[in-house]
Amino acid sequence: MSVDKSYKDKKVMSIGIISELTGLSERKIRYYEERKLIFPERTGKGTRKYSFSDVERLMEIADQIEDGVQTYEIKKELTKKQQRDERNKMIRGQINAQFNMRN
C-alpha cells in the first residue's frame, strides 16, 4: 500500500548539488535544517543527503524568507501542516479498520 517513494523522495544528493540546484549557499541550507525546516538524511559518516522534494521545499523556504517571513513562522506553518497530515492519517486508519472488520 503506497511504499515506492520513487525518485522524487529518495535522499541521494549531497549539499553541493543542492546548492547548485537551488542557488542557495550551503550555509543557508544548513541553517534551515538547524531551524527544523528541512530534514536531510545522513550517510554513515555524516554527510547530508537530500531528495528532489527537498529541493522544492528549499525553493519555497527561500521565497518566504525573501518575503520577510522569519524561520520561526515558516516552522509554525510546517508544524500545522504536519498535524493536519497526522490527523488525516489517523482517520484513514480508522476507516480501514472499519472496512477490514466487514470482511
Instruction: Give contact residues for DNA (rule: CB under 7 A).
Output: 14-17, 19, 25-28, 30-32, 35, 43-48, 65, 70-72
| CA dist., res. 82 & res. 84, Å (int) | 5
Least distance (Å) between residue 91 CB and a copy of itself: 31
Q: Which one of the spans 4-12, 65-73, 77-85, 89-97 is the region binding a copy of itself (CB under 8 A)?
A: 4-12
Cβ density class 10-27: b for 16+ within 10 Å, e for less: ebebebeebbebbebeee
Q: Nine-digit cell at 45? A: 559518516
Residue whose CB is less far from DNA, 10 or 28? 28
Q: Which one of the spans 9-17, 26-34, 57-65, 68-76 is the region binding a copy of itself (CB under 8 A)?
A: 9-17
Which of 15, 21, 59, 78 forms a contact with a copy of itself (CB under 8 A)? Answer: 21
Which of 15, 33, 35, 52 forms a contact with a copy of itself (CB under 8 A)? Answer: 52
| CA dist., res. 92 & res. 72, Å (int) | 30
Residue 36, SS3 per DSSP:
coil
Q: In sequence order, what E strands does 1-103 have?
A: 41-42, 48-49
